[in-house]
Structure 1
Amino acid sequence: MRFYSLISSLILSVFLLFISGSESVRTLKHLTVRRGGSLTVPCLYEKKYKSNRKYWCKGEHWISCRIVAYANSSNTGISVTDHPSQNMFTVDLKNLQDSDSGWYWCAVEIGGYWTPDDGDSVYLTVSSDPAVWVENSTVIGQEGGGVSVQGYYSSGYENEEKKWCRVKDWSCYPFQNSTVNISDDKNNRSFRVEMIGLQKSDAGWYWFSAGDVGVTVHLTITNTSEGEISVEGAQQNETMLAFFITAGLLLLLIVLGLVIWKLHQRGKLATSRGSDNCSDDVLYNNVVTRSEPEKQPKEVAPTDHESRVIYSAVK
């Protein structure tokens, strides 16, 4: 009986997940993105799943979906990151194509043989003309300041209900209140969300939807000191870059000067060697001149004094 009870419980659990999805794991129902673009899917889970392994699964039916990537690991164009402090994991999808359209699941691995994993489904549409898209899926605002999100929707969604919602608490803002203003230009099929008086707690994931189709946006909040530090750091970087460029140019000029001087020295040496070679090519010959044969002096009778002198002819 116990065996049949376990089987019945398993079948019931799978059936409930199949028809209604999970309340312990939640994600958006229908997201859209432009072909070749990127998208981040936020997946929320209950605190009890903080230490469980998370994964991204593809397939229309939960019982037969194929695991594409696990948390804290990356696949080709897919990265799953767990954020336990926020009870959330995110799925980053890049360079999406039409073939990537379809059903996916944000899932948590339970680990028990008789206990099925937990998950919630989302449908992804990739096209050249998506139903909803934004200019920037990541925006940065300063604490106490404001930020705006500009987006568009395709024809046929002019009269659909527009919403600006926060993923963290699954709440949507009214079109106008003290901190959020949402405008809808039906003639140009565009919308604009303006948030003012930003606080640190406003950071996180949002989504804009027209009807049942939406797109995600991540908001980052910086404080004034961080902004000043970043500006100062940027100025320092620019100064350092100018210094290195100047030093590089000076070094280049020095090297060019040395090269020119070296070539000049080689030229002088070659000229000097050329002169030496010319002097070496001169041939010296001994020239012998022939003189007329000397006339024999006439014999003179020696005197008694001269008879003691011996004469010799030197040629």
Structure 2
Amino acid sequence: MTSLAFIFLLSFLSAEAARSKYPPKAASNPVFGPRQVYGLIDGSVTVKCFYPPTKVNRHDRKYWCRESSRSCLTVVSSNGYTSPSYRGRASISDYPEQGVMVVNISRLVLSDRGTYQCGIGLNGRGLSYKVSLDISEGPNVPEEAELFYVELHSSVTMTCNFGADTISMRKYLCKMEKDVCRNIIDTYGKIDEDFTGRALLSNENTEGAFSIMITQVNWEDAGLYLCGVGSYGESGETKELDLHVYEGSNVPQGKSTVIGVKGGSVTIDCHYDPAKNYSLKYLCKWRKNGCSRIIENTGFVYDTYEGRVAMFDNPQNGTFSVILNQLRDSDKGYYWCMTNDERERKSSKELKIVEGEPGLKGKEDVLAEVGSRIDLTCSYPCKYYSYEKYWCKWSSDGCSPLSASDQSQPGVDVSCNTANKTLVLTFDSVTSADQGWYWCGVKHNGHYGESLAVYLQVSGEKVAELSPGLLNLDTSSNAAAPSNAVPQGRAFSDAGVQSAAASESSEQSSGSNVLTVALASSGAAVVVLGAAFAVFKYRQLKRSDLVSVGSYRTNISMSDFESVKEYGANDNACMKASQETQLGGDEFITTTASVESAAETKKAKRGSKEDADLAYSTYLLTSNAIAQGCAPGDSAAPTAAPPAWGGQV
């Protein structure tokens, strides 16, 4: 029997302890008003009572009654009834949208002292609140406690002002418990353990004024508070704040604690009323002396979070999600979801950083050159196989999705290799505008999961690779070539060499000519041998050869070259410079070749052996012409000008 009694006692105590911490719904009256109000004789008093603004409560009867030994006699009601003894001096006003009823009693007398109730319905069963009215002769009336009617899990802001003289004094908020006032938060940085990350004290614009915000209000937060300056019970001033908690609509709150892996990412979901149009939504990091804003829906992003934080708004379900990437140890702490509406619920999330391997992996810094092709890769584990995956380009206004069908991102392609579990973002040709942050992430049922932030750095313009043989090409017009210009394909192409040689002595000119002839002979031999070898190889592969110079390609038929007779004519060894075929010209060059010469070029195509013999004969003839001393300025007229090539090189 003794053991059974002991067990029963333990169960009773545990139940009482739980009830004191989390009051049952029946014990938490949804109607709330002041505990005590004061009035002066012949004066007036105003009583404000709150009730849940549900559809039923908005249209139900509101009343103010005075308690007696057996019942509560109605003084005034919203149906239009007024007790005879209170006619002309008692009134009730209802504000159903705000869930507030206001009772006013004037011409007070001492007999008005007593206990009253404000309530909803035909009787006060569970929907009424007791209020004590005290009447005094004055001259001063004690200040009543300011009421705060707060929905469970929402937030509340309480403001106090003690004047400019108290600007340098300690400011605090404490909660009354029996004969002591437990410190909740103060300007010295002391915060109660139960309110860490949930309470914030901030100075207002008015000197001496400050406010205290508490988020995620719980049942145990209800009670009488004091805000003050100085030290409670010793110096300074205080003001009573009466906080009441009621259970309202079932709004999802999400997890109060989120865990992220170091180097990975985490998503913080914030809830708001989708029926309201908020001009401002933001996330801030809680500190003892304030809440530092990280990102706003207006495009603001704090400098140190650039590229690694983004906000995704979903007004359909009343949430906005904030993703924080590349997590560091310094990121741990409390984060607040905020809006510009003071009555809107604010929520606090604690972020914890743990060691581990991020789910998404890839290079976080990539360097590319302009014009090059680059792939940004993002590998994911098997658990994300069925998730929706995406790449997006980050900016302070959000993260723009990238896909193969996105015409605003030409040359960018997104593909998913499910075999290798890799998501690839491909740039066919990188431009300087592509530099920036890119995010790879996963989604599931509209919820944003892990993500990976990659920074793409684009270096300067890519230098085109030019063939050494094209570096000295003359881009001037071939038709306007001066008579003293050295034709291209010779060893020297500087037009000023001959004019400089003419001003020297005959000995210097002779030595210069000898050197020029020797170098020209060597250069011509190299060029001709190279041409012969190229002709021989290409003719073996195809009758019509493909010639590539730099990045330009063209087909040149070997039948378009000059005939053996044209290459073998001794008179052509010393042709005028104006009739030379210039390499690199912009247009085809026409000549004064006779009809017979033109027709002669259209003879039957030669074999590979004949082409080789032709190239070798050309080399011998060219060397012979150089040995005879034919200078570029010679005026020997050829019998027939060689025809131009049939293609551009």
Give the alignment's TM-score, normalised by structure 2: 0.24
Structure with more contact order per residue of length (Cα contacts < 8 Å, sep ≥ 6): 1
Give the alignment's TM-score, normalised by structure 1: 0.43
If each structure's helix is expressed as a fraction of its own residues, which one has the higher value? 1
